Amino acid sequence: MNLHVTSHIFKSKRKKTHTFPFYIYLTSKPHYSHPLSIFNLSLTKFSFSIYTLFLANCHFKQRFEANFLTQRKTNMLGIFKEKLVNAPKELNSPASQNSNTKKAKPSHEILRDFMSCNSSNAFFMTFGNDALLAYSPSNTPSIYQRLFSGLDNIYCAFLGNLNNLSQLNKQYGLSKGSNEAMFIIEAYRTLRDRGPYPADQVLKEFEGSFGFVIYDHKNGTVFAASGSDGQIGLYWGIAADGSVVISENLELVKSSCAKSFAPFPNGCLFHSEHGLLNFEHPTKKMKAMPRIDSEGVMCGANFNVDSQSRNQMMPRVGSEANWSTWGQT
């Protein structure tokens, strides 16, 4: 078990006793970080730098930057290594490698940014070197829920509301008290274990506004989706190390991925092995449309339904093949 210590930093005055609260993170496999306990350290002299202690324990350089990330709290962040996720190649802009433009950040710096603007109640989980999930409950009122659940090595971060949740829970044999994130995990398990049943049909049954990311640690699978109404916006991009970054915070993704980012397309699902699919039009392929920013530089791509194409269908009910073997042609 690893011990990680992070701290808040306060201004100090000489010849006074100061109290510095430290958050203790106890971690194991998978790496789980949460403020389990708090203790106080009183000093009669500010004879050492808490900032230096922070660097020594966290193993990366902490920079205090005045930027707009702190003005909007991020509720969800997922980072998945390139070997795990087969992201659309059009998402990666060549401009991100240009020496004249701002560089994309590596995964550990992106996590640092997330934790720095959500330090009071945020936690993160790492799964070896393959995946990372971070989440922060919101303290501000919202018509949309922010939820995080984990069951049997499947983890889900959910944003939004399902208006027909009660009906869906009954359909999947869940208790009335099960929330949206718990239901999403059960629906995913049904697709994974009890198929065949097309994922697009499952998502079409969802009524409401939603965006979610699932990580199946056992199978090393990432599954993400965004509702058709566009009320819950997700964004994705490519980090400096080739990892795929997903979050609802545009500014976090933009600052992390430089020019290699784009909105996650509404009404779509993404499977780490099989790619992107519009669940409203599952028979059609997705077409990448280059995005040009205000500086005239290519900035990732938008993905739209190609009405002239036809996609290989997922297995339908009664097929012997499991839905998870589906792939695009």
The CB density around residue 43, as the number of other CB atoms within 10 Å, is 14
Q: Is pLDDT at 96 greater than 80 in this prediction? A: no
State the average pLDDT over residues 141-167. Answer: 94
151 Cβ contact list (under 8 Å, min separation 6) = 182, 185
Q: Of 165-169, 200-204, 231-235, 293-297, which gets the smallest average pLDDT?
A: 293-297
Gap between the Cα atoms of 168 and 164, Å rounded: 6
Give residue 191's pLDDT. 86
Q: Cβ-count burial of 45 within 10 angstroms (0-12 exposed, 13-18 middle, 19+ buried)?
A: exposed
Gap between the Cα atoms of 212 and 222, Å rounded: 11
What are the structure tokens assigned to 299, written together? Answer: 């900035």
Q: Which residue has the higher pLDDT, 327 or 306?
A: 306
Q: Cβ-count burial of 304 within 10 angstroms (0-12 exposed, 13-18 middle, 19+ buried)?
A: middle
Q: Is pLDDT at 319 greater than 60 in this prediction? A: no
This prediction has a pTM of 0.73
Q: How confident is the model at residue 26 (pLDDT cuts 50, 70, 90)?
A: very low
Strand-pairing partners, residue 247, are 77, 235
Taking only the tens place, the pLDDT of each residue in 253-302 is 999 999 999 999 999 999 998 899 999 988 888 998 888 887 778 888 88
Q: Which residue has the higher pLDDT, 170 or 196?
A: 170
Domain boundaries, the chain: 1-62, 75-325
Q: Which residue has the higher pLDDT, 326 or 234?
A: 234
What are the structure tokens assigned to 123, written together? Answer: 């936690």
Give residue 248's pLDDT. 96
Q: Of 113-117, 123-127, 154-158, 196-200, which gets the smallest average pLDDT?
A: 196-200
CATH fold for the domain made of 75-325: Glutamine Phosphoribosylpyrophosphate, subunit 1, domain 1 (3.60.20)
Whole-number average pLDDT of the chain: 76
Omega within 30 of 0 (cis) for the link into 198: no
